[in-house]
Structure 1
Amino acid sequence: MVGIIIATHGEFATGILQSAAMIFGEQENAEAVTLMPSEGPDDVRAKMEKAIASFDNQDDVLFLVDFWGGTPFNQASSLLEGKEDKWAIVAGLNLAMVIESYASRLSMNTAHEIAAHIIGTAKDAVKVKPEALEPETAAGPAADASGASAGAPGSFEYVLARIDSRLLHGQVATSWTRSTSPTRIIVVSDTVAKDELRKKLIQQAAPSGIKAHTVPIQKMIELAKDDQHFGGQRALLLFENPQDALRAVEGGVPLDTINVGSMSHSTGKVQLDKVLAFDQNDIDAFKRLKELGVEFDVRKVPDNHGANMDDILRRAQSEIDRQK
């Protein structure tokens, strides 16, 4: 695995490492290096050398630094000498760059590959609102690709169906889209479909080159039965809760597996861990989905180990019964 050093002036590196972990999960072989006001170039170099020594693979190292020409960049450049064929530096650090570098390590084996890949993501993450302030640019290849097969005969290919009370957020927009390569992200919810603000926020949260839509459950059922317009489209479906997923499956949306990522706590629910909370209606919906032949993949992000849904439901039922 490529080792990643995030190096900045001040605590920026530590903070962005923490932020990336919240979205993508804790990562091995990734270290923050900070240049504090009382420190100098030699201190930064020593921290970088210590971080590199801790990596499982010291042949491929990627430096993500705050800006070109600063002390972190200069010390990384000094260490890079003689290793240019393996190591790489990317300046202009932002959170999207860090998350994409993590995701890229799942399929890319060299620092050079990752460095070349993440530049586009880092640039695409820089946006402005109101949108009218954006400079006009020609539509790029990614924009064309998102609709390249629209209109071709055939039905959706469902690359992921996920229950997540947060719907389209960082983990979905980065790690799951990276691992499943959808051309469409579809939020399936009667509630959200009536909320113009949430619909707009979901559209804005979509990764570059992927279109996001929000549709009522019945509309998704109709789309699933339309075999004339969606050939080649790879759909990632997001449900807020298991009840909505159940309605979709009972209506004819052909889902074999549902990923269970996050179910937020509310009054009357039992909290089993940091991300999963259930009430009796949730348990009953999952049991009915299982009766319909649906399997469950309980993971927050692709590189997590999956949990056993039957065990989770048994624990949830036991806790609910105990509280009665």
Structure 2
Amino acid sequence: MVGIILASHGEFAEGILQSGSMIFGEQENVKAVTLMPSEGPDDIKAKMQEAVSTFDNPDQVLFLVDLWGGTPFNQANSLFEEHKDTWAIVAGMNLPMVIEAYASRFSMESAQEIAAHIIETAKEGVKVKPEELEPKTAAAPAQSVPKGGAPGKFQYVLARIDSRLLHGQVATSWTKTTQPTRIIVVSDAVAKDELRKKLIQQAAPSGTKAHVVPVEQMIKLSKDDQHFGGQRALLLFENPQDVLRVVEGGVPLDTVNVGSMSHSTGKVQPNKVLAFDQNDIDTFRKLEENGVKFDVRKVPSDSRGNMNEILKRAQNELNKQK
């Protein structure tokens, strides 16, 4: 696996390492290296050398640094001179760049290949409000799923329950792993909310179309065998009740990824990211009866949780409240 060094003036590298872990999960073979006010070039160079020595494969190292020409860059560059054929340096580090570098390690084994790949993502991560200040680009895709395409039905690459819907973990780690051509948020409530629809559209990763549809529309789309051949759909749901509706309506979902269910009054929280009331528990049991399996993970690199044990703990906690 390619080793990654995040290097910066001050604690920026430590902060972006923490942010990346929150979104994409804890990473192996990644180190943050900082140049503090009391330190000089030799200090950060020594830190870089120490970081490289901990990597599984020191022949493949990618430096992500804050500023071209700054001391972190210069010291990385001095080390790079002896490894020009395999190492790489990218300056202008931002969070989209770091997350894309993490994701790229699933399919790329070369530091230089990853370096070339992440530059466009880093640029696309720079956006501005109000939108009219943005350079003119092609119009955003429509919110309804358009017709047109090869005969055939959707291929469902992921169905996920996540109260936050389309956010960083989905837009980066899950899309990188499942390679959808369309992300479809299935929700009656969100389909009526123009602001949320717009935000979801803006959060879609480059090259992937994002749509918001009501539950009944998703059921109809799933039965269309004339327009969606070759289309890989990633479905996002706010709650298990909407999943049950589409399953009972005929959408062929074998497995549902359970990523996040927010806490609210009347719910119990058997782990850090999932909260249930009695209706939620009953709905998951009905999904089980319909042959649906559960994949309990926030991000692909997490180990899978045992949904049956989680539901039992939630039921016990609810029973204690009675």
Taking structure 1 as the reference length, the TM-score comes to: 0.95
Count how many residue pairs are aligned between Structure 1 and Structure 2: 318
Equivalent in the alignment of 1:123: 123
Amino acid at match of 2:108: M
Deviation for aligned residue 1:150? 4.1
Amino acid at match of 2:59: D
CA contact (8 A) 1:150 1:232 kept: no
Shift in CA distance, 85/180, structure 1 to aligned 2, threshold 3 Å: same
Aligned partners of 1:56, 1:315: CA distance in 2, in Å?
A: 39
Question: What are the within-5 Å matches in structure 2 for residues 1-324 of structure 1?
Answer: 1-137=1-137, 150-324=148-322
Deviation for aligned residue 1:285? 0.6
CA contact (8 A) 1:189 1:214 kept: yes
CA contact (8 A) 1:150 1:233 kept: no
Deviation for aligned residue 1:68? 1.1
Aligned partners of 2:42, 2:257: CA distance in 1, in Å?
A: 47
Deviation for aligned residue 1:105? 1.1
Post-superposition CA distance 1:252-286 (Å, at most 9, x none): 11111100000111111111111011111111110
Shift in CA distance, 317/137, structure 1 to aligned 2, threshold 3 Å: closer
Aligned partners of 1:172, 1:192: CA distance in 2, in Å?
A: 17
CA contact (8 A) 2:147 2:227 kept: no
Deviation for aligned residue 1:132? 2.3
Aligned partners of 2:270, 2:176: CA distance in 1, in Å?
A: 28
Shift in CA distance, 124/148, structure 1 to aligned 2, threshold 3 Å: farther
Aligned partners of 1:86, 1:230: CA distance in 2, in Å?
A: 42
Deviation for aligned residue 1:197? 0.9
SS at match of 1:244: helix
Q: Gaps spanning 5+ residues in structure 2: where? A: none
Runs (4 or more) in structure 1 with deviation over 6 Å come to none
Deviation for aligned residue 1:134? 2.1
SS at match of 1:163: strand
Post-superposition CA distance 1:5-27 (Å, at most 9, x none): 00011111111111111100111
Post-superposition CA distance 1:275-318 (Å, at most 9, x none): 01111111111000110111111111111111111111111112
Post-superposition CA distance 1:213-240 (Å, at most 9, x none): 1111011111111111111111100000
SS at match of 1:63: strand
Aligned partners of 2:109, 2:146: CA distance in 1, in Å?
A: 29
Aligned partners of 1:99, 1:231: CA distance in 2, in Å?
A: 31
Q: What is the identity percentage for the equivalent residue pairs of Structure 1 and Structure 2? A: 76
Q: Gaps spanning 5+ residues in structure 1: where? A: none
Shift in CA distance, 214/55, structure 1 to aligned 2, threshold 3 Å: same
Deviation for aligned residue 1:137? 4.9
Deviation for aligned residue 1:135? 2.0
Aligned partners of 1:97, 1:120: CA distance in 2, in Å?
A: 9
SS at match of 1:62: strand
CA contact (8 A) 2:2 2:29 kept: yes
SS at match of 1:199: helix
Deviation for aligned residue 1:243? 0.6
Amino acid at match of 1:173: A
CA contact (8 A) 1:150 1:231 kept: no
Amino acid at match of 2:307: M
Shift in CA distance, 138/311, structure 1 to aligned 2, threshold 3 Å: closer
